[in-house]
Amino acid sequence: MTTVVRHRLFWPLAMLVSLLVGNLFFTPDFFAVEVRDGHFYGALFDILRQGAPLLLVALGMTLVIATGGIDLSVGAVVAISGALACQQISGLGDQGAVGGVLFAVALALLLCAGLGLWNGFLVGVVGIQPIIATLILMIAGRGVAQLITDGQIINVNSPPYKAIATGFLLAVPVPIIIAAALVAIVAVVTRRTAFGMLLESVGGNAGASRLAGIRSRRLIIIAYVACAVCAGVAGLMVSSTVSSADGNNAGLLIELDAILAVVIGGTSLLGGRFSIAGTVIGAILIKTLDTTVYTIGIPPEVTLLFKAVVVVILCLVQAPAFRARFTRRQPAEVARA
């Protein structure tokens, strides 16, 4: 089994490595890590720091996709989270007050959890197709975010809030720490408990899971809530980076990048088996692509074109027709197992 999993992650990993190595040609000191003011700097850290929001959204998305669902609303949730936090902070007497910022952050995440609950309710309890259930919030959520900001871009001047995206902890950028911590939490919760297996069971065969006594409703709701909270944290990072909230554009299209990251990581959109390691690789791959295009000096908008190429290549390489020549080797493996 492990050989198969390794096999599944082989192509994304190979692509990531070749992209990173390719960067060396354009930026010879690409892999250099510099310590400045006791903080780590370098292209690799930049990729991870800038990629943290996408990684978080993709992380939550992995759980939802494992249930056989999909969450299109994460982009809107990113916007709502940042909007509410900034709106709260801008109303503070002292925007630098750590307590006030923490309250704003908690409130934003609570609202996101509520939005996740709504999605989970529509999918798990009402039984609406996930793509449609979350389409509702995807469309309406942008409106809600603009409602919160009253259609304006809210600027804040709050050092504690700014630290979420640009601070350092033990010389490491804070977003990387937050992302790593959440990845670790999700990995532990899914694989050290039975959560992951039951999720895969529900995603693999919902009817059979019910008859095996699994309360899929709860699992599905938890997955959507986790996804929305992850998106909420990502939203805080996005708005903290620029110290402002833009209800219209924050997190635009991030849902698609996140789904892409999950799929690149080898998790099927049909649900069932999922791979968190794969998602991490997928998200970093996408962000590396962004960075690469930027360093080569191509207009950033054209990144989309490269993403399309990556998707097509990965899909084709993983397509059965292409894989046929590799599977010849498989019978031997099966026989050995």
Partner 1 sequence: MSETEPVLVMRGIGKRFPGVVALDGVDLRLFPGEVHALMGENGAGKSTLIKVLTGAYHHDQGDITLGGEQVAFAGPHQAQQAGISTVYQEINLCPNLSVAENVLIGRSPTRFGRIRWSAMRRRAEDLLARLHLSIDVGSDLGTHSIAVQQMVAIARALDVDAKVLVLDEPTSSLDASEVDQLFRVMRGLKDEGIAILFVTHFLDQVYEIADRMTVLRNGRLVGEFRTAELSQLDLVAAMIGKELAALEDIEEAPRREVAALERGTPIVSAETLGRTGAIAPFSLAIHKGEVVGLAGLLGSGRTEIARLLFGADRADQGRLRVDGAPVAFRGPQSAMRHRIAYCPENRRTDGLVEDLTVRENIILAMQAARGWARPVPRGRQDELVARYVKALDIRPADPELPVRNLSGGNQQKVLLARWLITEPKLMILDEPTRGIDVGAKAEIQRLVVELSDGGMAVLFISAELEEVLRLSHKVAVLRDRRLVAELENTDGLDTDRVMAAIASGGAA
Partner 2 sequence: MMDLDTKVAPAPVTARVRRFVPRQKYLPVTATAVLISLMYGIGVVNYTGFSDTQIVLNIFIDNAFLLVVAVGMTFVILTGGIDLSVGAVVALTTMVVALLLENGWPPAVVLPVALLMGSTIGLGMGLMIHYFDVQPFIATLAGMFLARGLCYVISTDSIPIDDPFWVRVSNAQLWFGGWFISISVLVALAVVLIAAYVLAYTTFGRDVYAVGGDPQSARLMGLRVGRTRVAVYTISGLCSGLGGVLLSFYMSSGYGLHASGMELDAIAAVVIGGTLLTGGSGYVLGTVLGVLVLGLIQTIITFQGNLSSWWTKIFIGLFLFVFIVLQRVVTRRRR
Residues lying near partner 2 in the complex (CB under 8 A) are found at 68, 70, 123, 126-133, 135-144, 146-147, 150-151, 206-207, 210, 216, 247, 256, 259-260, 263, 269-270, 299, 301-309, 311-312, 315-316, 319-322
Q: Which does 128 bind (CB under 5 to 8 A by kind): partner 1, partner 2, none?
A: partner 2
Does position 1 bind partner 1 by CB under 8 A? yes
Does position 321 bind partner 1 by CB under 8 A? no
Number of helices (H) and strands (E), helices first, in the chain? 15, 6
Does position 325 bind partner 1 by CB under 8 A? no
- Token representation of residue 297: 């000096």
Give the one residue of 214, 225, 289, 314 binding partner 1; rule: CB under 8 A.
214
Inter-residue contact 69 to 206 (CB < 8 Å): no
Cβ proximity to partner 1, 219 vs 236, nearer residue: 219
- Token representation of residue 323: 């894989």
Whole-Å CA distances, 14 to 7, 186, 237, 297: 11, 25, 29, 24
Inter-residue contact 52 to 203 (CB < 8 Å): no
Residue with tokens 């390489």: 317
Three-state DSSP string of 269-293: CCCCCCCHHHHHHHHHHHHHHHHHH
Whole-Å CA distances, 65 to 111, 212, 214, 276: 22, 21, 18, 11
Does position 249 bind partner 1 by CB under 8 A? no
Does position 35 bind partner 1 by CB under 8 A? no
Cβ proximity to partner 2, 238 vs 264, nearer residue: 264
d(CA 181, CA 266): 22
Sign of CA dihedral 180, 234, 51, 189: positive
* Torsion angles phi and psi, residue 35, rounded to 5: -110, 115
Binding mask 172-211 for partner 1 (x = CB under 8 A): --------------------xxxx-xx-xx-xxx-xxxxx
Q: Which does 213 bind (CB under 5 to 8 A by kind): partner 1, partner 2, none?
A: partner 1
Cβ proximity to partner 1, 6 vs 210, nearer residue: 210
Q: Which does 89 bind (CB under 5 to 8 A by kind): partner 1, partner 2, none?
A: none
- Contact region with partner 1 (CB under 8 A), list: 52-60, 213-221, 241-249, 280-288: 213-221
Cβ proximity to partner 2, 7 vs 217, nearer residue: 217
Minimum distance between the CB of residue 12 and partner 2, rounded to whole angstroms? 14
Rg, Å, the chain Cα set = 20
For binding to partner 1 (CB under 8 A), which residues are involved?
Answer: 1, 192-195, 197-198, 200-201, 203-205, 207-215, 219, 272-273, 327, 330-331, 334-335, 337
